Structure 1
Amino acid sequence: MTIANAVKAPDPAKGETEATQRWSRITYWPLAVAAAVFLVTYTVHVVGEVQGDWSILTTAIIAMIWLMFIGEYLVKLRLSDPRRVWFRAHKFELLLALIPALRPVRLLDAVTRLPQFTRTAGNSIRARLLTYGVGSALLLVWYISLLVLQAERGAPGATIDSFGDAVWWAFCTVTTVGYGDLVPVTISGRCAAVVLMVGGVVLVGLVVATISSWVVERASRGHEDEMPASRADVKALTVQLQAAAARVARERSGDSGQDQP
């Protein structure tokens, strides 16, 4: 996958211009790498409990990358036309600027462009949904684990005091198992838990629905005659019939012209 095809052509209806798309192509991969560095640095900062100069260094890296995301968003907003339309159509861009940990989700787009995922339209859609669903769920679990660990570690009555405990709790929560052996006690930890609960329900439901769709397709193979026709099938058949009727009409018109003296 090249940088050129990582960004789509501009859509004037969304306020996009050639300048905004050119800027997106330039910053697509550098910011994706910066987001990965952000996540690694934040992981080291929280799990390693860095102190002194190392804490200052990791905090500075996190702050600089955050500013990079905000600056990239402001530049695209400045290059858009009209800006109000672009702002309304790109709310997710604002979310990425405010939450840099979400930027690695863009890396999943590279995986979905592999030839194995584009053999058929149905497989392509399912592969993209499954990749985004599983990848987003893992990123959500990882990031929320860090947030909860940072909030709970050292708090009175806290049971989550290691990264292993935080990851275990996050997986139990996102899969709706909820053993109850580990529970956040701080306000910020519980707020992060709410985000994980809501995101987990959505992402797990997406993955289950995608797998169910694949199972249904596999089970229906060999029974194509029993499957109901879709609107696309009816439309394609109508177009073929109209083309055939027009061809027959032209042939008859030609035969009538040849028969005239």
Structure 2
Amino acid sequence: MSDRPTDPVPRRLAHWEQRAEVPLLAASLLFLVGYAVRVLAPHDAEPWRDIALALVAATWSVFLVDYGVRLHLSGQGRRFVRTHWLDTVVLVLPLLRPLRVVRIYTALQKRRERPRLSLYARVMSYAGLTALLLGFSAALAVYHQEYGAPGASIRTFGDAAWWACATLTTVGYGDAVPVTPAGRVIAAVLMACGLALLGAVTGSFSSWLLQVFAREDEKRPPGSG
């Protein structure tokens, strides 16, 4: 029996999501590029800053249109906001779009008969990719908030990148810390995401090791070792 939705409304929604995920991934990367140029470019770097701002606005408009289309196709009304809370948060805070990497992977896999990677490889690969994109996004956002703040220890993008690495890996050296309210909110979100991603990677790696050792034990002749 096929597991595809038979009702026309979910079927249209699933078809839209499958078709839109890859273009949305491209729009997400363009948004990140535009935001990075806007944050890192010197103030007198015109017209690049204006072009970057236009790119950010245009790609966010794409996210808004996609959200509106899925809200309409779902037929759920306000319930869609609750059941798709991650999509709602990502719409308000587009820099969190790397969290949707798993959904993009799912949409791509529907076009193939079977995954190309094992379960453990998929978890580790996509958790690593999510951590990389999320860390870069958080570094940009924190640098944007912190570099001109009084008493800030994050004054360059290198400081922000170092802070993001330490926060994602839950090391927390304390040599670079946000001092602004917005910077601390970003730090709290990154801490939570870092714990989740680190748990996913370490758990998958441990399970993979146990599976490898179990196979070796099964191949070992009885009474040996």
- TM (normalized to structure 2)? 0.80
User: CA separation in 1, counterparts of 2:146 and 2:82?
Assistant: 37
User: CA separation in 2, counterparts of 1:10 and 1:49?
Assistant: 51
User: Aligned match of 2:34 in 6, 23, 41?
Assistant: 41
Counterpart contact for 1:112–1:131, Cα < 8 Å: no
Q: Which residue of 2 aligns with 1:106?
A: 101
User: CA separation in 1, counterparts of 2:106 and 2:29?
Assistant: 14
Q: Which residue of 2 aligns with 1:220?
A: 214
Structure 2 CA distance for partners of 1:198 and 1:44, relative to 1, 3 Å: same
Structure 2 CA distance for partners of 1:128 and 1:85, relative to 1, 3 Å: farther
CA RMSD of aligned residues (A): 3.1
Structure 2 CA distance for partners of 1:11 and 1:125, relative to 1, 3 Å: farther
In the alignment, is residue 96 of structure 1 matched against residue 87 of structure 2?
Answer: no
In the alignment, is residue 78 of structure 1 matched against residue 99 of structure 2?
Answer: no
Counterpart contact for 1:70–1:98, Cα < 8 Å: no
In the alignment, is residue 211 of structure 1 matched against residue 205 of structure 2?
Answer: yes
Displacement after TM superposition at 1:50 (Å): 4.2
Q: Which residue of 2 aligns with 1:232?
A: none
Displacement after TM superposition at 1:204 (Å): 0.8
Q: Which residue of 2 aligns with 1:24?
A: 17
Same amino acid, percent of matched pairs = 38
User: CA separation in 1, counterparts of 2:15 and 2:107?
Assistant: 22
User: Alignment partner of 1:17: what SS?
Assistant: helix
Amino acid at match of 1:109: Y
Amino acid at match of 1:127: A
Displacement after TM superposition at 1:45 (Å): 1.1
Counterpart contact for 1:159–1:182, Cα < 8 Å: yes
User: CA separation in 1, counterparts of 2:9 and 2:125?
Assistant: 27
Structure 1, unpaired ranges of 5+: 1-7, 226-261
Counterpart contact for 2:139–2:160, Cα < 8 Å: yes
Structure 2, unpaired ranges of 5+: 220-225
User: CA separation in 2, counterparts of 1:20 and 1:148?
Assistant: 36
In the alignment, is residue 152 of structure 1 matched against residue 153 of structure 2?
Answer: no
Structure 2 CA distance for partners of 1:102 and 1:187, relative to 1, 3 Å: closer
User: CA separation in 2, counterparts of 1:174 and 1:181?
Assistant: 15
Rg: which structure is higher?
Answer: 1
User: CA separation in 2, counterparts of 1:194 and 1:40?
Assistant: 24
Displacement after TM superposition at 1:74 (Å): 0.8
User: CA separation in 1, counterparts of 2:122 and 2:217?
Assistant: 26
Q: Which residue of 2 aligns with 1:126?
A: 120
Q: Which residue of 1 aligns with 2:168?
A: 174
Amino acid at match of 1:221: R
Between 133-142 and 95-104, report the one with greater CA deviation: 95-104
User: CA separation in 1, counterparts of 2:67 and 2:202?
Assistant: 34
Amino acid at match of 2:55: I
Structure 2 CA distance for partners of 1:111 and 1:209, relative to 1, 3 Å: farther
